[in-house]
Amino acid sequence: MLSEALRKVVPVLEGLEIPYALIGGLALGVHNVIRATEDVDLLVQRSPAEMQELAREFRAKGMRAVSRKGAADDPLIGVVVLEVPIRDGKVTCDLILPSSGWQFEAIRESEVVNFEGLSLRVARRKDLFLLKLFAASPQDLLDAADLLRQQAPNGRRAWKARAAQLRLSAEYARCLKFMK
């Protein structure tokens, strides 16, 4: 179901030459953290000024697409929400806009993986961890803790240092509470 949606969305992004990285629950699965998810989340290299055009491109491909800017208390600066028609209904796919340089770097440094026969770009484990800290919901912090749990002590120290550089130390500390 989710892979069917990816098979429709990824070719559009690649055809438009829009860099992207799979994030969210599916990306966790690629990194051996299993949790249920019902949607697809992609970080896409677009600015808020380009959201409307991106939504139009997907509507032209037969998908419902709505763009919205993030609220003042929302970590997202913008998202294009797609309803991707699939055989048994529809899947929601969020095309999330990066809000800072390190998020653009996460897209650039994403890895190509084979996901159910589809070649796609997935955020590296470290970047997914930082994105989860940045989002900071309880589920995101639990996901971050699951990623952190897989790291060796040296990796954990490096991730903690990077979180501090990005001013995510409080989120890192909250994440640690989920590891107990």
Residues 78, 154, single domain; the answer is: no
Residues 100, 54, single domain; the answer is: yes
Which two tokens mark 179? 């590891």
Instruction: Enter the pTM of the model.
Output: 0.93
Of the candidates 7, 95, 6, the residue with the CA atom closest to the CA atom of residue 51: 95
**64 DSSP β-pair partners:** 83
Give the burial class of 88: count Cβ atoms within 10 A of its Cβ; 0-12 exposed, 13-18 middle, 19 or more buried: exposed
What pLDDT is attached to residue 36?
86
Residues 86, 173, single domain; the answer is: no
Residues 57, 129, single domain; the answer is: no
Residues 86, 135, single domain; the answer is: no
Residues 142, 116, single domain; the answer is: no
Residues 5, 89, single domain; the answer is: yes
Question: Given its phi and psi angles, is residue 122 left (phi above 0), alpha (psi -120 to 50 degrees) or beta?
Answer: beta
Residues 64, 82, single domain; the answer is: yes
What pLDDT is attached to residue 74?
67
What is the tens place of the pLDDT at every residue in 50-86?
999 999 999 999 999 999 887 666 677 889 999 999 9
Q: Do residues 35 and 24 lie in contact, with contact meaning Cβ atoms separated by under 8 Å? A: no
Residues 22, 69, single domain; the answer is: yes
Residues 70, 130, single domain; the answer is: no
Q: How many structural domains comprise the chain?
A: 2
Q: Domain holding 100: CATH number? A: 3.30.460.10
Sheet holding 118-122, edge to edge: 64-69, 78-86, 89-96, 39-44, 20-23, 118-122, 111-115
Structural domain range at position 60:
1-123
Q: What tens-digit pLDDT sequence spans the chain (180 residues)?
A: 888 999 999 999 999 999 999 999 999 999 999 888 889 999 999 988 999 999 999 999 999 999 988 766 667 788 999 999 999 899 999 999 999 999 999 999 999 999 888 999 999 999 999 999 999 999 999 999 999 999 999 999 999 999 999 999 999 999 999 887
Residues 45, 56, single domain; the answer is: yes
Boundary-marking domain end, from 123, 155, 170: 123
Residue written as tokens 């590891």? 179
Boundary-marking domain end, from 102, 123, 144: 123
